[in-house]
Structure 1
Amino acid sequence: MNNRWALALVFAVFAVFLFWFVSVRQSLLFMVGMGLGAVLAGARFGFTTGWRHLIERRDASGVFAQLLLLAIAAAFSMPLLASFPTELSAALGPPSISLLIGALVFGAAMQIADGCGSGTLYKAGLGIPLNMAILPLFALGSFLGSAHLGWWLELGQIQPIGLVTEVGLSGALGLTYLGLALIGLAAWGWSKTSGVSRSLFSKSLLIGAVLIALLAVLNLVIAGQPWGVVYGFGLWAAKIAQAGNLFDPATNAFWSQPVNATALQQSVFLDLTSITNIGILAGALWIFSRNKTGKSNPLTSQQWIVGLIAGFLLGYSSRLAFGCNVGAMVSGISTGSIHGWIWVVMAFLGSLVGVRIRRYFGY
């Protein structure tokens, strides 16, 4: 009990610090991040686990919860984007070779590492050793992926496509719900092949989906941009690399862009994604202080090595794919980006391979 109240005091002081010395927006985003971390950890809402359970157990409950999340987030996000096109931005990424390869690799790596971007954050906050060790490697991979992104995009890309802009609000919502319904039917059909009667719905996951969707929408309203994770990781590593004179951002295609160059020069507390990431860690740590849920089975040295390599690949591939399950799938699809749908297809194909690799190494 003392630890819980001590943590609550620390987090409250940090929120006040942000409010007083940084901005009201950053303080609010930290609290949104805490809410996300608490829900993700409390409900054990795993994007990675939901996909793996569908593939291995023919259990569609996790995927159905994710579809509900996307449906609710889209119902709020798309009208907001249509009403405030200059104040709010969608999570748009260009369909490209880098997207195809990045999403495929990410889908495999997240199954091996047992976590996507948000999963790595909240499991690190829960004190799970592998995810804690993966976090800095994820950041390093994200930075290197951003540093190499210009080369990858030269392989081929087209301009980002936003459904709200291209087909209007009603068209965007209609196409989005049609896509979600088709995925739901496919997941339902896949679950029936097991021959075992399973519930398609998990109460805790469904509650988690509703709360995460609402918090994601709140993030969009406060930040002016959709919820993301990967950019913050890459920025942290980029700042360290710049401080050590290990790279020159002025000569890099990604980090020389005005918005990224500014982020490198400013305090990390001013970065919208970073402050939400810190909040997710804090929210998960709060859950850990209450439930002590961070225990995991000990890993062999081989499992550690494979897991850490997968963690690095998570960071690198997510940058090539313009996001992870959060930035590309949740935020991309809910704000009408075509790249989010491409990401889902490729990442699921990667997961089909990843679960087999995971099983081979005995995770």
Structure 2
Amino acid sequence: MSLADTSSTFNKTPYLRRSALIGLALAVVLIVALAAGLRFGMLLLVGLGFGIVLEGFRFGFAGPWRALILRRDVTGVLAQLLAIGIVAVVAIPLLSSQDGVLVGAHAPIGWAMLGGAFVFGIAMQVVLGCGSGTLVNAGSGNPVGLLALPFFAIGSFAGAFHLIWWTDLGTLQPLVLSGATGLGVTLALLAALALVLLLIAAPGSRKLPARLWLAACAIALLAIGNLVIAGQPWGVVYGLGLWAAKGAVALGADLSGSAFWMADANALRLGQSIFTDVTSLTNIGIIGGAAIVAVWRVGGLSARLPRLPARAWLAVIAAGFLMGYSSRLAFGCNVGAFFSGISTGSLHGWAWFVMAFLGAMIGVRLRPALGLEPKP
């Protein structure tokens, strides 16, 4: 049998293809565990879980926000709030009892943080993908996601390079809701927001479908696992910036002028393998998990190149860079700031949500003007 015949048989046999996918994924996890340590292999496995759930259940952030803005479909955002609430029930008490062992996604509120969240909200709707969404889109073979991802990484690196200058414009100390009281306030705020959404929901969009119930619970369990294994909450932005920083160093760039990249912990990571960086591992896992689902479904990454005008592709590049840059200033994206921030009691997560949602309201209306979708 020729190589072409073997390939054809493989593609036409779902059982063989899917068995090979599972075997390959587990082999990579095992290799990482043996080379870097069990903890890092487990984190890659968690990342694969994130990617499989996000792509397999169509659970995301940018799309549901768009649905809420344009159609008053609240189901996707309600699922996000449910997942955040489940994580909060475990994470906030755990952080209070394991102070110094586990850390939350706690960050200060300041001008740069607020402005960064607003810009991120605009940009993520332009590419129709947040931090995790861009990883998922790239992993599943979406051409827009594939183009946006490297510029997201470059933007994250650049934002980190300039971060200290921006934060010097003025920030507050991190404000954290901790202990039983903090958990009660967080759950009350989530419930209040859910009630508002239900009141404004379009008819027929108040009931959460089973798919989203399952996805919210699965994402919450994976996020809790990430917190326990990594010692920190689920994040995206830092890992992407680190990849670009490593690339810059490999090309001969001098990062000594950046207080961020020369900080002891970050300088150490620049010299280490990305397979020992917890955020990089889950990011890689998300890409891989999304790819597994895409190949599982249709036998390959078969997304077609959309017929878009040149200005649309330029907009994707610019938006990708701005997402990376602005999310670094905002101390995270929908995952690191909104999801992980709120679920670990950080008030900056709530401030991030307000500003990013305001930006998203602008971003959804920019897409037709940029040629990314037909004008209404």
Counterpart for residue 344 of structure 1? 353
Counterpart for residue 52 of structure 1? 66
Secondary structure class of the residue paired with 2:233: coil
Secondary structure class of the residue paired with 1:150: helix
CA-CA distance at 1:146 after TM superposition: 0.3
**Native 8 Å contact 2:157 2:245 kept in 1:** yes
1:270 to 276, 296, 299: 276
1:235 to 242, 245, 261: 242
**Native 8 Å contact 1:123 1:294 kept in 2:** no
**Native 8 Å contact 1:64 1:200 kept in 2:** no
**Native 8 Å contact 1:90 1:162 kept in 2:** no
* 1:82-105 CA distance string (max 9 Å, x none): 121121000011111110110000
Counterpart for residue 109 of structure 1? 123
Counterpart for residue 124 of structure 1? 138
1:255 to 237, 255, 261: 261
Superposition TM-score, scaled by structure 2 size: 0.91
**Native 8 Å contact 1:141 1:234 kept in 2:** yes
CA-CA distance at 1:294 after TM superposition: 5.6
Structure 1 residue 353 corresponds to structure 2 residue 369: no
> 2: CA distance between counterparts of 1:54 and 1:12?
38
Counterpart for residue 20 of structure 1? 34
2:321 to 303, 312, 321: 312
Give the ranges of 4+ consecutive aligned residues of structure 1 lying more than 6 Å apart after TM superposition: none
Superposition TM-score, scaled by structure 1 size: 0.95
**Native 8 Å contact 2:160 2:328 kept in 1:** yes
Change beyond 3 A, Cα 1:54–1:20: same
> 1: CA distance between counterparts of 2:317 and 2:198?
34
Q: How many residues are matched? A: 355
Structure 1 residue 204 corresponds to structure 2 residue 211: yes
Counterpart for residue 3 of structure 2? none
1:68 to 78, 82, 89: 82
Q: CA RMSD in A?
A: 1.4
* 1:97-150 CA distance string (max 9 Å, x none): 110110000001001111000000111111111101111010000000000101
Secondary structure class of the residue paired with 2:18: helix
* 1:159-195 CA distance string (max 9 Å, x none): 112211xxxx111111101211221122223224xxx
Counterpart for residue 184 of structure 2? 174
> 2: CA distance between counterparts of 1:245 and 1:161?
39
> 1: CA distance between counterparts of 2:330 and 2:307?
32
* 1:300-344 CA distance string (max 9 Å, x none): 322211122111111111101000000001110000011111100
- Flag structure 1 segments of 5+ consecutive residues without an equivalent: none
1:85-100 pair list within 5 angstroms: 85-100=99-114
Structure 1 residue 321 corresponds to structure 2 residue 330: yes
> 2: CA distance between counterparts of 1:359 and 1:88?
44
Letter in 2 for 1:97: W
Structure with greater Cα Rg: 2
> 1: CA distance between counterparts of 2:75 and 2:170?
37
Counterpart for residue 31 of structure 1? 45
**Native 8 Å contact 2:198 2:206 kept in 1:** no
1:69-84 pair list within 5 angstroms: 69-84=83-98
> 1: CA distance between counterparts of 2:254 and 2:106?
27
CA-CA distance at 1:222 after TM superposition: 0.4
CA-CA distance at 1:230 after TM superposition: 0.5
> 2: CA distance between counterparts of 1:294 and 1:123?
12
Deviates further, 152-161 or 225-234: 152-161
Identity within the alignment, %: 48
CA-CA distance at 1:36 after TM superposition: 0.6
Secondary structure class of the residue paired with 2:201: helix
Counterpart for residue 285 of structure 2? 279
Counterpart for residue 6 of structure 2? none
